[in-house]
Each structure stands twice: as structure tokens, then as C-alpha cells.
Amino acid sequence: MNGSAYGKAEGMKATLIHGTHDIRVSSDVPDPVIRDDTDAIVRVLRSCICGSDLWPYNSADDNPQGDRIGHEFLGVIEEVGSGVRNRTAGQLVAPFVWADNTCDFCAQGLQTSCRHGGGWGSDGTDGGQGEAVRVPFADGTLVPMPGEPDDALLASMLTLSDVFSTGHHAAVSARVRRGDTVAVVGDGAVGLCAVLAAKRLGAERIILLGRHTDRTDLGREFGATDVVAERGDEAVEKVRELTGGDGVDAALECVGYVEAIRTAIEVTKDGRLVGRVGVSQYSDIPLGVGEFMRNVGVHGGVAPARAYIEELLPDVLEGRIQPGRVFDRTIGLDEVPDGYRAMNDREALKVLIKP
């Protein structure tokens, strides 16, 4: 099937990153077209800005042409290629990365390492912060979602495409078990979702490390039983104090700086794991002879959200969890540049986009 048959001349609105602090919304980005017969075109209903989008926001090289950006979105299938078997126009769907969902990595629930997959904006795919997206491997990538959800439910469903699934991945990577005491390092949207995920998995005590009261307040509503505003050695001391000196059964690192992972490691109980999901801004992790004697380890990384969506969806649909509460600002596409600024200035916790 030749993609050109689906081309539309008018173009669409989409977000481009042109350099550090240089986010622009263009109105004449080519409409996506089916390129491979396993593609689908998804009209974006909701998108958002991810904490990880702030890394390129703060460091991208100048690029006059601009790169598409955005990887958290939820939308309605507009059309599917002739090779798509189990997805149809009109379905509400959420993707994260794109993945065939049939290779051995996908079968093991690691769609982020799919042998044929990739990230939005790479290999000529679209970014999620726009009006529409060409989705490769529609059968594998897209998870159908039911119904005609209201705004709040849509927001929570959107978090499955990344932020809540990422919090869940932190908890899974650290092997959180029922009854555990858990520390969450970081009170950003991922950290708050990690609190919610740990609670959902049965953690009994959840210590949230963060200093922004408005955020840690939401963390308490999500299940945090203690908040530690201290940082570094003082934070470690505080968490050890709260846990009778032992540290926690699992530490979820949701920041990405080496100080955060050091704190996470140091508050972890002997024999246990840190689950890291903060995009690492470091090259080395402090796991020396002290941690060797304590048998403390680190696992985790980019979250294979696709592997978790089906498991997490019922709790969202039935309202048992409301991860969408991390959105504290809603904007249109034209306001996306200011949305980045607001998140970067910590004026907003997480910004929802209604294209």
C-alpha cells in the first residue's frame, strides 16, 4: 500500500524542538500517512509533556529544521493499513514506544527493546505532541481502551502510556512485595506515580522524599505515609531513623541525578534492590564495597509501558486509582512552548495537552 494515497495536502499542527529552550508549534507539518501496511494513523485526543522531555529542552543543539517531540499520548484510530488485523478505525488507544509485540523481547514484556520497535520521533515517525501520529505495528503498539471516558478518566488513561507505567516499572524493578516498606526518591509526576504503584502492589509504608509541599501532599493522597524533605546524607539518616536503622525493602529512584540514586542505594535494606526509572544523567552508580557487603543492587530503566497497560487499566477504569491527578495544568497545542517553560520552572507538575 502506497502511503501517498493517504496524504492530505493541508498539513497539521505539531510540536517541534529546535534547540535548548526552543520549542515551537508548527501548523504545516505534513499529515501522517500510512507508509507500511501495518501502520495506523491515530488522531491525538490527549498528549502531555514528560519530565524526560525536559532533558532535551535543556540541552538540545540548535536545529533549524526541528525534531518532532512527545511520546505520551492517547487517541482514536483514524485509519489502518491493509496488514493491520486486530485494530480498527474508531478505537481509543494508548501507545508508548512502538513495538511489534511479537518478538522475544516483547514476549518477555520488554517492548522498549523490541527488535523492530523504536521511539516516537525516530525513524521518520511522528511525535506525540501534535494532532495526529503515524503508528508503526498498530497491532502490537496500540492497546485498545473501552468507552467514552470523561476528562478525568481520559487523563488517568493517558498516564498508562508512560508516567504511571513508569512508576509501576520502578516498583516492579525493585520487586516491591505486599507489606513492604518503600522509599520513593523524587516528588515529580513519576515519583508520585511510583507512590501510587507501590501502594497498589501492597506496600504498607511508603516514604516519599521530596520538598515541594503541594506535590508531597498529593503523594500523601496517593499513599505516602511519610514525607522526608531533607536531601543527601540528612535524607538517608531520616529514612534510616524511620525504619529502625534498617532502611527500606525497596527504593524507587525517580529523578535521574546521581545524588538521587546514591540516596536510593543508601536507604535500601541489605539484600534488596533499587528500582531506577529516572532517566540517568550519570554514567556511574555508587555501588562499592559497602553495598557489596550489604548485597544491595540496582535494576530498572526505561519502562516497557506496553507490558503493563492491560494489567493497570482495570484499576484506572474502575476508579480505584487516579494517576491522572498528576496533571495540574491543561493547555492547547499553541501553548506547548509555555507548558515546557512552566514544567521546567516547576510552576507546573505535569502539563496535559488537548490538541
Smallest distance, a second copy to C-beta of residue 221, A: 29
Q: Is 9 in the site for a second copy (CB under 8 A)?
A: no
Q: Is 2 in the site for a second copy (CB under 8 A)?
A: no
Answer for which of 18, 35, 212, 294 binds a second copy (CB under 8 A) is 294
- State the Cα–Cα distance between residues 183 and 101, nearest whole angstrom: 32
Answer for which of 80, 183, 194, 273 binds a second copy (CB under 8 A) is 273
Q: Dmax of the chain from CA atoms?
A: 67
Q: Lay out the site mask for a second copy across 108-147 (x = CB under 8 A, - = otherwise).
A: x-x-xx----------------------------------
The three grid cell numbers given for residue 152, joined into one nine-digit string: 478525568
Residue number with CB closer to a second copy (277 or 309): 277
Count of residues touching a second copy (by CB under 8 A): 34
Answer for which of 19, 144, 301, 337 binds a second copy (CB under 8 A) is 301
> How many beta carbons lie within 10 A of that of residue 177, not counting itself?
13
Q: Lay out the site mask for a second copy across 146-165 (x = CB under 8 A, - = otherwise).
A: --------------------
Q: Is 231 within 8 Å of 263 (Cβ atoms)?
A: yes
All residues at 6 or more sequence positions from 153 whose CB lies less than 8 Å from its CB, including other chains: 316, 317, 319, 324
Could you tell me which stretch among 126-134, 138-146, 150-158, 266-274 binds a second copy (CB under 8 A)? 266-274
Residue number with CB closer to a second copy (284 or 345): 284
Q: Is 276 in the site for a second copy (CB under 8 A)?
A: yes
What are the two backbone dihedrals, phi and then psi, of residue 328, each rounded to the nearest 5 degrees?
A: -120, 10
The angle that helices 305-317 and 163-173 make with each other, rounded to 10 degrees, is 110
Answer for which of 171, 251, 302, 351 binds a second copy (CB under 8 A) is 302
Q: Is 289 in the site for a second copy (CB under 8 A)?
A: yes
Answer for which of 150, 284, 318, 345 binds a second copy (CB under 8 A) is 284
Positions in 172-231 near a second copy (CB under 8 A): 173
All residues at 6 or more sequence positions from 140 whose CB lies less than 8 Å from its CB, including other chains: 98, 99, 100, 101, 102, 106, 111, 114, 306
Answer for which of 286, 315, 337, 341 binds a second copy (CB under 8 A) is 286
> How many beta carbons lie within 10 A of that of residue 213, not counting itself?
12
Bridge partners, residue 124, by sequence: none
Answer for which of 151, 214, 221, 270 binds a second copy (CB under 8 A) is 270
Q: Nearest-CA neighbor of 64 among 9, 26, 11?
A: 26
Smallest distance, a second copy to C-beta of residue 110, A: 4
Q: Which residue has 511489534 as its cell numbers?
A: 100
Q: Which residue has 471516558 as its cell numbers?
A: 149
Could you tell me which stretch among 36-44, 107-115, 142-150, 197-205 binds a second copy (CB under 8 A)? 107-115
Could you tell me which stretch among 87-95, 106-114, 149-157, 317-325 binds a second copy (CB under 8 A)? 106-114
- State the Cα–Cα distance between residues 234 and 216, nearest whole angstrom: 18
3-state secondary structure of 273: strand
Q: Is 326 within 8 Å of 24 (Cβ atoms)?
A: no
End-to-end CA distance of the chain: 29
- State the Cα–Cα distance between residues 118 and 47, nearest whole angstrom: 18
Smallest distance, a second copy to C-beta of residue 172, A: 11
- State the Cα–Cα distance between residues 239 and 184, nearest whole angstrom: 11
Answer for which of 304, 323, 339, 355 binds a second copy (CB under 8 A) is 304
Q: Is 51 in the site for a second copy (CB under 8 A)?
A: no
Q: Is 97 in the site for a second copy (CB under 8 A)?
A: no
Q: Is 287 in the site for a second copy (CB under 8 A)?
A: yes
All residues at 6 or more sequence positions from 177 whose CB lies less than 8 Å from its CB, including other chains: 201, 202, 249, 250
Applying CB under 8 A, which residues contact a second copy?
105, 108, 110, 112-113, 173, 270-271, 273, 276, 279-289, 291-302, 304
